Amino acid sequence: MNGPGTDAGGENVGREQRIKEHRITIILTHEDFRQSMGRRAKSQQEFDKWAELAENELLNSHIDWDIIYECAGEAMRKEHAGGGENA
């Protein structure tokens, strides 16, 4: 079990070494609506309803995070293998 000052692996982590979370923001546009619905929104109200439904789908885990994590990990490994700036 991890206690205060430890990371997921149980390693001691100093206060100055803690890694902050990263926020991802998704902005839905009228172009996204057109791609989804095959037409322009008839009104702001229709767009807002569509955006609300899209947000609900995101909140209901309709994103395969395992694929996102796998792709990010693969890209990171390639960058390190190629001597990228974060190597």
In a domain, 66, yes or no: yes
In a domain, 87, yes or no: no
Cα torsion for 30, 31, 32, 35, to the nearest 10°? 130
Give pLDDT tens digits for 38-76: 999 999 999 999 999 999 988 887 888 899 999 999 999
User: Hey, what are 22's tokens?
Assistant: 């990263």
In a domain, 71, yes or no: yes
In a domain, 3, yes or no: no
Q: Print the domain residue range for 56.
A: 15-81
User: Hey, what are 29's tokens?
Assistant: 């546009």
In a domain, 45, yes or no: yes
How many domains does the structure of the chain reveal?
1
In a domain, 9, yes or no: no
Per-residue model confidence (pLDDT) at position 12: 59
Which residue reads 């309803």 in tokens?
Answer: 49
In a domain, 75, yes or no: yes
Nearest to 17, CA basis, from 27, 25, 7: 7
